[in-house]
């Protein structure tokens, strides 16, 4: 049984931020089901008018929205403001993607025409993570609504207030009752949405553990769309790089941005053994200068706390386990006096240390020294995940080799692992996703194609195989 109320706390202060009842998945699915026919058959322009109004309301409300995200996640105010910008930008990108990926195509064929058009699935469940509590669910919701689906959204139990805020903006934009329902709660409510017979698909962003559980739960429902955006254990190779300061800055951005709570954050730094000492010194010096503070601090922090004290304890335990396994600490990941959810950026050398291939969702970077390029590439791909990978340094030919050999859906050069273009597909292979990339390609999983051959009049004869009349 779920507890009677869900409560969210500000990671930076521990203060209570939001309190409310757990949601009812059955009621939300029923409401979404009854809202579906009218929403799906409304003229596209009518749907888009509401969705564009939502975009404008997000922009008008950007300051308050960013403040709320910063308070509920602990991320720096500037980081939260960037998230709000992505939420608004998602609308135009998704409209463009809808036409480009799933629009209508009609061509002439002998005696008529052939057409490809798309239909919405029906009611789609959306399960969101806490690290981008607005941007990532929004990245499913907006394309789903454009395509004519109705949505039941179960946000992370750690960020219910952001979800309520988003839903209020949708309501203000004029979204009809039932088209977007919010079910507050944790794993129980997530399971209730995912297993509800009334949904036609599930769009998930979260950990691989949950994603695999959902894939198992959907094994008996191959007719339902299941899009899984999961975690990573992302490699960053620094190779033949003359600009050590720039490389160090990319390493720090990749590993510690948003307190390491981005699915694309680098977890493994792979470097030639001869180049390692200078790079370690440069990264170490930069870590010394990082401001770790509450979201609204002045001067602005580079990173805030992680999501809660439990996550901080888990990260500290993960670091200690790496030390116990033989890892050599370079920068200890430790709790900070700023508060129970604050940890320092961790850097640990684990060359030759056998560790489980797990994602540690926080500012924890492993360093692995290698003797040659083949070993570097081998290390980069030594993971069941396949979300993001970056090469820093080298030349175009080396980058081509890296791109060709990398098993990841996001492969960058001289940019952080966490850099992704908003108008590109976003997803990973292996344990990072099930070949249903989000962002620009989200349009693909929000609609199904119907192919038709059509003529205005029935005009047919049988040319062969008939007996004479």
Q: Any catalytic annotation for residue 265?
A: no
| CB closer to ligand NAD, 219 vs 469 | 219
Q: Which of 205, 259, 406, 417 binds ligand NAD (CB under 6 A)?
A: 205
Spell out, one character per residue from 3 to 42, where the chain touches ligand NAD: x when CB under 6 A holds, - when not: ----------------------------------------
Q: Any catalytic annotation for residue 229?
A: yes
321 binds ligand NAD (CB under 6 A): no
Instruction: Decide: residue 350, CB within 10 A, 0-12 exposed, 13-18 middle, 19+ buried.
Output: buried
157 binds ligand NAD (CB under 6 A): yes
**Within positions 38 to 77, which residues make up the interface with ligand NAD, using CB under 6 A?**
none
263 binds ligand NAD (CB under 6 A): yes
Q: Which of 22, 154, 165, 436 binds ligand NAD (CB under 6 A)?
A: 154
| CB closer to ligand NAD, 126 vs 376 | 126
161 binds ligand NAD (CB under 6 A): no
Q: Which residue is nearest to ligand NAD (CB)?
A: 190
Q: Which of 65, 130, 153, 256 binds ligand NAD (CB under 6 A)?
A: 130
Note whether 255 and 461 are within 8 A (CB).
no
What is the smallest separation between the CB atom of 177 and ligand NAD, expressed in angstroms? 23
**Which segment (204-212, 343-351, 395-403, 460-468) binds ligand NAD by CB under 6 A?**
204-212
Q: In degrees rounded to 5, what are phi and psi of residue 103?
A: -70, -165
Q: Which of 25, 230, 431, 446 binds ligand NAD (CB under 6 A)?
A: 230
Q: Which of 148, 190, 301, 393 binds ligand NAD (CB under 6 A)?
A: 190
Catalytic residue among 263, 265, 294, 316: 263
Note whether 136 and 156 are within 8 A (CB).
no
126 binds ligand NAD (CB under 6 A): no
Q: Which of 28, 32, 136, 368 binds ligand NAD (CB under 6 A)?
A: 136
What is the smallest separation between the CB atom of 410 and ligand NAD, expressed in angstroms? 10
| CB closer to ligand NAD, 22 vs 272 | 22
Spell out, one character per residue from 383 to 402, where the chain touches ligand NAD: x when CB under 6 A holds, - when not: ----x---------------
- What string of H, E and C letters represents the secondary structure of the chain? CCCCEEEEECCCCCCEEEEEECCCHHHHHHHHHHHHHHHHHCCHHHHHHHHHHHHHHHHHCHHHHHHHHHHHHCCCHHHHHHHHHHHHHHHHHHHHHHHHHHCCEEEEECCEEEEEEEEECCEEEEECCCCCCCHHHHHHHHHHHHCCCEEEEECCCCCHHHHHHHHHHHHHCCCCCCCEEECCCCHHHHHHHHCCCCCCEEEEECCHHHHHHHHHHCCCCCCCEEEEECCCCEEEEEECCCCHHHHHHHHHHHHHHHHHCCCCCEEEEEEECCCHHHHHHHHHHHHHHCCECCCCCCCCCCECCCCCHHHHHHHHHHHHHHHHCCCEEEECCCECCCCCCCECCEEEECCCCCCCCCCCCCCEEEEEEECCHHHHHHHHCCCCEECEEEEEECCHHHHHHHHHHCCCCEEEECCCCCCCCCCCEECCEECCECCCCEECCHHHHCEEEEEEEECCCCCCCCCCCCCCC
| CB closer to ligand NAD, 54 vs 218 | 218
359 binds ligand NAD (CB under 6 A): yes
Q: Which of 127, 238, 280, 447 binds ligand NAD (CB under 6 A)?
A: 127
CA distance 269 to 368: 6
| CB closer to ligand NAD, 156 vs 350 | 156
What is the smallest separation between the CB atom of 90 and ligand NAD, expressed in angstroms? 13
231 binds ligand NAD (CB under 6 A): yes
Footprint on this chain of ligand NAD (rule: CB under 6 A): 127-132, 136, 154, 156-157, 186-187, 190-191, 194, 205-207, 210, 213, 229-232, 263, 359, 361, 387, 438
* Residues annotated catalytic, as ranges: 229, 263
């Amino acid at each position: 049984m779920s507890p009677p109320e869900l409560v969210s706390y500000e990671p930076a202060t521990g203060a209570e931020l939001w309190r409310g009842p757990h949601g009812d998945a059955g009621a939300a699915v029923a409401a979404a089901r009854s809202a579906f026919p009218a929403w799906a058959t409304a003229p596209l322009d009518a749907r888009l008018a509401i969705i564009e109004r939502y975009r404008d309301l997000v922009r008008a409300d950007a300051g308050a929205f960013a403040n709320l995200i910063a308070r509920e996640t602990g991320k720096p105010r500037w980081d939260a403001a960037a998230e709000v910008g992505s939420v608004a930008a998602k609308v135009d990108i998704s409209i463009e993607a809808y036409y480009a990926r799933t629009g209508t195509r009609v061509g002439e064929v002998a005696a008529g025409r052939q057409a490809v058009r798309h239909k919405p699935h029906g009611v789609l469940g959306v399960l969101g993570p806490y690290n981008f509590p607005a941007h990532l669910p929004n990245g499913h919701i907006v394309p789903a609504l454009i395509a004519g689906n109705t949505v039941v959204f179960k946000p992370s139990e750690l960020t219910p207030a952001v979800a309520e805020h988003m839903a209020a903006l949708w309501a203000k934009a004029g979204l009809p009752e039932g088209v977007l329902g919010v079910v507050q709660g944790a794993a129980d409510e997530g399971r209730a949405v995912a297993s509800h017979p009334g949904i036609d698909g599930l769009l998930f962003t979260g950990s691989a553990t949950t994603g695999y559980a959902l894939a198992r739960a959907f094994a008996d429902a191959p007719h339902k769309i299941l899009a899984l955006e999961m975690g990573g254990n992302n490699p960053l190779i620094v190779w033949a790089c003359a600009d050590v300061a720039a490389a160090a800055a990319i390493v720090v951005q990749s590993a510690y941005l948003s307190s390491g709570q981005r699915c694309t954050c680098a977890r493994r730094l792979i470097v030639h053994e001869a180049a390692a000492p200078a790079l370690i010194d440069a990264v170490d010096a930069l870590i010394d200068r990082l401001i770790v503070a509450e979201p609204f601090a002045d001067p602005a922090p580079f990173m805030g706390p992680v999501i809660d004290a439990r996550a901080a304890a888990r990260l500290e335990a993960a670091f200690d386990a790496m030390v116990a396994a033989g890892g050599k600490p370079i920068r200890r990941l430790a709790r900070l006096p700023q508060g129970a959810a604050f940890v320092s950026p961790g850097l640990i050398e684990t060359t030759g240390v056998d560790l489980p291939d797990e994602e540690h969702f926080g500012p924890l970077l492993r360093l692995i020294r290698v003797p040659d390029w083949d070993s570097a590439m081998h290390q980069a791909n030594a993971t069941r995940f396949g979300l993001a990978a970056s090469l820093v340094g080298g030349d175009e030919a080396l980058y081509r080799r890296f791109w060709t050999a990398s098993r990841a859906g996001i492969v960058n050069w001289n940019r952080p692992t966490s850099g992704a273009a908003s108008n590109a597909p976003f997803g990973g292979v292996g344990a990072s996703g099930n070949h249903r990339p989000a962002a620009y390609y989200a349009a693909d999983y929000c609609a199904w194609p119907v192919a038709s051959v059509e003529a205005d009049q029935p005009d047919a004869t049988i040319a062969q195989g008939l007996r004479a009349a």
